[in-house]
Amino acid sequence: MTIKVAVAGASGYAGGEILRLLLGHPSYLSGDLEIGALTAGSSAGTPLTDLMPHLPQLADRVMEDTTPEILAGHAVVFLALPHGHSAAIGKALEDTIVIDCAADFRLQEAGEWEHYYGSEHQGTWPYGIPEMPGHREQLQGATRIAVPGCFPTGATLAALPAVAAGLVVPDLAIVSITGVSGAGKKASVGMLGSEVMGSLKAYNTAGKHRHTPEVIQNLSEVTDGEVSVSFTPILAPLPRGILTTITAPLKQGVTQDVAYETYRAFYADETFVHLLPTGQQPQTQNVLGSNMCHVQVEVDERAGVLLLTSAIDNLTKGTGGAAVQCMNLALGIDEAAGLPQAAVAP
């Protein structure tokens, strides 16, 4: 039976990344997966090739309106829509696996959603970081999935083993440097080349960024202690990539060997998390276009902190790759299918 897949919001960066990965998926290449409706908002009626000439296999396709009627009848629907637009469409799609790349169903606490997003909380769906304890089992066979945010993906995978094993006091200072594609494809003066080239800028600082409660929620699952997060995102003149550094107070008796072995054991069986050799640091260029998260852990004895570093491609492991990874789990096929480990270099 052929699996028919639709992408709502296919004209954006996340939608385009999902399509790029689906075109290389073994089920697509074998004919077992079909790419169905490609929908958009203001771009409806536009040939896809005008928007995404890097996808020649779909050059003859035209963007359709994003409506439940057009999306109905597909086995899987990816929602790559702005925050707050997924709930109505998701509720209208029955007998369909709906994978939401927005934030609508990530948070468990209604108060946190309302504080950061300013609208009514619509509920919580299984959360799509399979590497978190218990989440792979929740995603297997799921029909509703919330894809994580890009910042929380890099930060969670960097901090998770340390918090779970009690290597640190869970009082984390997180700094993430991101490329401009994380802001989406919409026109914005602040994203113009003349505004970002040759410049770095912190934004949504001092607890204002919407991904802060998501990181806290994730790490709170693996500790009984209260998790505190100070998160500072920094915009850099890069198309893709997130480099995250985290410092947290070190528990007594934790040595470099203990910390490194904790991370090695935690991620030993994870295809898409790579603990780098001691002395080697994650770099965004080494995960470009891949579904990988590169991680490093170091004890700073003089400062009394644990330093955690990760690198991801925000459009792949941070969004589109995570969505396809979740689709694979929901469909019961190889979790790694269609997802590259090798990056593009140089």
The total of other beta-carbon atoms located within 10 Å of residue 224's CB is 7
Query: What does the alpha-carbon distance between residue 74 and residue 52 come to, in Å, rounded to a whole number?
Result: 23
* Side-chain-side CA neighbours of residue 69 (13 Å): 2
User: Is-contact 212 229, C-beta < 8 A?
Assistant: yes
Assigned token pair, 329: 């789990």
Q: Are 77 and 93 in contact (CB under 8 A)?
A: yes
Cα dihedral: 103, 150, 182, 197 (round 10): 150
Answer yes or no: are the C-beta atoms of 242 and 150 closer than 8 Å: yes
Instruction: Tokens for 207, please give them.
Output: 């607890």
The overall longest dimension of the chain from CA atoms, in Å, is 62
Is 150 one of the catalytic residues?
yes
Q: Could you say which of 101, 150, 293, 326 is catalytic?
A: 150
Q: Count of CB atoms within 10 A of residue 260's CB?
A: 17
- Asked if 289 and 241 count as a contact pair (C-beta separation under 8 A), the reply is no
Dist. CA 97–CA 53, nearest whole Å: 28
- Which residue from 345, 346, 331, 295 is spatially nearest to 22, judged by alpha carbons? 331
Q: Please state at what angle helix 150-164 crosses helix 256-266, rounded to 10 degrees.
A: 120
Closest C-alpha among 126, 128, 117, 125 to residue 157: 128
Cα separation of 264 and 282, whole Å? 15
Phi, psi of 234 (to 5 degrees): -130, 130
- Residues annotated catalytic, as ranges: 150
